Amino acid sequence: MRALAIPRRAERLFRRNPAATLAALWLLVIVIMGLVALLSRYDPITDVHVGQAELGPGPGHWLGTDHLGRDVLKRLALACQFFVAPGMLACLVSAAIAIPAGAIAGFEGGWIEAGIRWVFTVVASVPRFVLLLLVLSIYGDRLYLLAIAAGVAYAPTLAEAVFGRIEGLRSAEYVLANRAYGVPSWRILWVHLVWAASRRLVARHLVTLFGYYLVLETTLSYIGGFGVQEPMPSWGNMLAFDWGYSAWYAPQVLAPVVVLWVTIVAIAWVAETLGGEVADA
């Protein structure tokens, strides 16, 4: 009977917020593509078929081929691997740093709070993109290093959010009641305050961070020098290719723009629906 409940619940979710449900489905597709693409052994050199360059959409190539005869749709899908897994890594790193730090700062108060918040304020004083550019320049352009650095760079925002929530609830009645019952502090903090009261807020921020990582990777790949570079595909470097004026409406040209924009909007809608405002917890 539980299996039948899922389609019904999904339908209710859809009715309540069709936009967000579609957005979530799209993101699911993207994430699956990104993870699957990691396992593929794509050799960009052998993918070149000069004789089939710049074909229009057709049975073999739904979005046509690019200037080197490579299938555009396949490359769009493969490009996902460069931000899906790294993006998730960034989220993991950020959560691992920011949630404990923010929660402890909010719960303990006093010097501990001041110290932790100051550290995060310091990190936040360097603009994120500038900090990440420096890291790439100094430590080299390594994909997973960028992901970890992005997670660290986003941690102040997440920590402040968690801090604000926990601090606001520190003297809430149910916390006082729990203390009076002798529930140990660590349990109050982690189970009640962090998990029960803050998880949607955290989820929203992590989704936003995932979106930020997507923007980061595509921006670097678009500009060149850092990020994913030819011949490996990235939505950024596929966008950057100069097709000339005549073909602006061709699928090869529009597809990266549309896919990137749609994914970013989808991430924003999902984050918005997750809410995490005080009323939703």
Task: Determine the Cα–Cα distance for residues 2 and 10; give it in Å rounded to an integer.
Answer: 13
Helices marked H in 224-250: 235-240
Contact of 235 with 260, CB cutoff 8 Å: yes
**71: β partners:** 65
Q: Which of 134, 176, 191, 196 binds another protein (CB under 8 A)?
A: 134
Stretch binding another protein (CB under 8 A), from 56-64, 119-127, 173-181, 185-193: 119-127
Q: Show Cβ contacts of residue 59 under 8 Å, excluding neighbours closer than 6 positions.
A: none
Q: Show Cβ contacts of residue 84 under 8 Å, excluding neighbours closer than 6 positions.
A: 30, 31, 33, 34, 35, 37, 38
Rounded to a whole number of angstroms, the minimum distance from the CB of residue 133 to another protein is: 5
Contact of 242 with 236, CB cutoff 8 Å: no
Q: Does 219 bind another protein (CB under 8 A)?
A: yes
**Per-residue x/- mask for another protein, residues 8 to 37, rule CB under 8 A?**
------------------------------
Contact of 217 with 236, CB cutoff 8 Å: yes
Helices marked H in 40-81: 72-79
Q: Does 223 bind another protein (CB under 8 A)?
A: yes
Rounded to a whole number of angstroms, the minimum distance from the CB of residue 176 to another protein is: 23
Residue 73, Cα to own-chain centre: how many angstroms?
22
Q: Identify which of residues 47 and 160 has a Cβ nearer to another protein in the complex.
A: 160
Q: Does 265 bind another protein (CB under 8 A)?
A: yes
Task: Determine the Cα–Cα distance for residues 264 and 113; give it in Å rounded to an integer.
Answer: 34
Number of amino acids touching another protein (CB under 8 A): 38
Stretch binding another protein (CB under 8 A), from 32-40, 51-59, 89-97, 125-133: 125-133
Q: Does 136 bind another protein (CB under 8 A)?
A: yes
Q: Does 48 bind another protein (CB under 8 A)?
A: no
Q: Which of 109, 225, 278, 280 binds another protein (CB under 8 A)?
A: 225
Task: Determine the Cα–Cα distance for residues 223 and 127; give it in Å rounded to an integer.
Answer: 18
Q: Identify which of residues 56 and 115 has a Cβ nearer to another protein in the complex.
A: 115
Stretch binding another protein (CB under 8 A), from 81-89, 118-126, 167-175, 185-193: 118-126
Contact of 113 with 105, CB cutoff 8 Å: yes
Side chain identity, residue 264: I
Strand ranges inside 136-250, DSSP E? none
Stretch binding another protein (CB under 8 A), from 9-17, 45-53, 186-194, 261-269: 261-269
Rounded to a whole number of angstroms, the minimum distance from the CB of residue 195 to another protein is: 28
Q: Does 40 bind another protein (CB under 8 A)?
A: no
**65: β partners:** 71
The footprint of another protein (CB under 8 A) covers: 118-119, 121-131, 133-139, 215, 218-219, 222-223, 225-226, 236, 239-240, 245, 248, 257, 260-261, 264-265, 268
